[in-house]
Amino acid sequence: MPIILERKLGVSQLWVWEQTEPLDQLKAALPQSLLAQIPQQAQAALAYCSSRLLLQEVFGRPALLSLTKDAQGRPFIHNKAISMSHCKGFSALTMAGPRPGLDVEGPRGAQLARIAHKFILPDKLQALQERPKEEYLEALANIWSAKEALFKAMGGGGIDFREHLSIDYPPEMLQLPGRFSARYHGPKGQVEFALEALPLPQQHRLIWCI
């Protein structure tokens, strides 16, 4: 599993692995104590193994034993907040201040178009729908991925993607990479974020809080 992207912006750090090995080989590289925790479903098992091996690569094998979660489900290593994501052969890890968050997604704009009303406010959705179809679907994919990253950064639970998460998506951002601002405004208060969107191989994208 080679690291294909490593990035540092201030206190924010990002690592991305491309998973090329079969599941059995990934399992063999994990500590024996973690094998019983591997999910039975194949895709879930790949996500679990590759994300743990990325943690091991970045922090060392003992770090796997210190992986904990807070009351909101956010993961921590050595008492430092982290965020992880996995999608079809790519695993990503970030450590970025008190509220790290990231998401990796494949091409799924057409699928998101069917549920866009559930995560974008009506006036903003109408403006997006006036764009050419390809630009519209690209915007949906970026906005969804950005909101997934914010959801993880805020610890999930009780967050309405449409009402609580706002993305200042720039009309000129037709191709990645790009940066934009975002915010959470809801029962947990108001938190401002800066996000970066990066292209990955095989038409995948990564969006993380920087």
Domains in the chain, CATH or no CATH each? 3-102 (3.90.470.20), 104-209 (3.90.470.20)
185 SS3 class: strand
Model confidence at 143: pLDDT above 90: yes
Pairing of strands 75-77, 102-105: unpaired
Place of tokens 């500590």: 31
| Whole-structure pTM value | 0.90
**Cα(56)–Cα(137) distance, integer angstroms:** 36
- Both structure tokens of 108: 């799924």
What rounded mean pLDDT belongs to the chain?
Answer: 90
**Cα(32)–Cα(46) distance, integer angstroms:** 16
Find the mean pLDDT for residues 45-64.
86
Model confidence at 191: pLDDT above 70: yes
- Both structure tokens of 109: 């704009």
